[in-house]
Amino acid sequence: MLALWRGASLKVLRKGADVACPRERAKLIMRPDDANVAGNVHGGTILKMIEEAGAIISTRHCNSQNGERCVAALARVERTDFLSPMCIGEVAHVSAEITYTSKHSVEVQVNVMSENILTGTKKLTNKATLWYVPLSLKNVDKVLEVPPVVYSRQEQEEEGRKRYEAQKLERMETKWRNGDIVQPVPNPEPNTVSYSQSSLIHLVGPSDCTLHGFVHGGVTMKLMDEVAGIVAARHCKTNIVTASVDAINFHDKIRKGCVITISGRMTFTSNKSMEIEVLVDADPVVDNSQKRYRAASAFFTYVSLSQEGKSLPVPQLVPETEDEKKRFEEGKGRYLQMKAKRQGPAEPQP
For residue 99, give the amino acid letter: T
Select which of 40, 63, 208, 225 is catalytic.
Answer: 225
CB-based burial of residue 283 (10 Å sphere; 0-12 exposed, 13-18 middle, 19+ buried)? middle
d(CA 228, CA 232): 6
Cα–Cα dist 315/307, whole Å = 17
Beta bridge partners of 249: 76, 297
Say if strands 22-29 and 248-250 run parallel, antiparallel, or are unpaired.
unpaired
Gyration radius of the chain over CA positions: 21
Active-site annotation holder among 18, 36, 191, 283: 36
Residues 141, 296: Cα–Cα separation, whole Å: 17
Write the DSSP assignment of 16-38 as a string of letters: T--EE-EEEEEEEE--GGGB-TT
User: Is 288 marked active-site?
Assistant: no
Catalytic annotation present for 139: no
User: Which residues are catalytic, by number?
Assistant: 36, 225
